[in-house]
Amino acid sequence: MDVVSLIVALVIALVFAAVCWKLAGARDRNQPLWAILGFFFPIIALIVLLIIGKSKPKAAS
């Protein structure tokens, strides 16, 4: 694998991580977790994040 391909793959992974971060924030989910998942498993994390809805508010006990 040449250097250009490695850089392109890294940039794509970072873009997916940023998109997952933003979507997780909009859906009240754990942003750092979803950014890491978006970096290592880009398509899968994005699809799962789009399928799951907003987190439910925790009930006061």
- Please tell me the distance from the alpha carbon of residue 48 to that of residue 27, in angstroms, as a whole number: 12
54: pLDDT strictly greater than 90: no
Read off the pTM.
0.84
Report the chain's mean pLDDT, rounded to a whole number. Answer: 92
pLDDT at 58: 74
Per-residue pLDDT reduced to its tens digit, 3-31: 999 999 999 999 999 999 999 999 999 99
Overall average pLDDT of the 38-46 stretch: 96
3-state secondary structure the chain: CCHHHHHHHHHHHHHHHHHHHHHHHHCCCCHHHHHHHHHHCHHHHHHHHHHCCCCCCCCCC
pLDDT at 57: 76
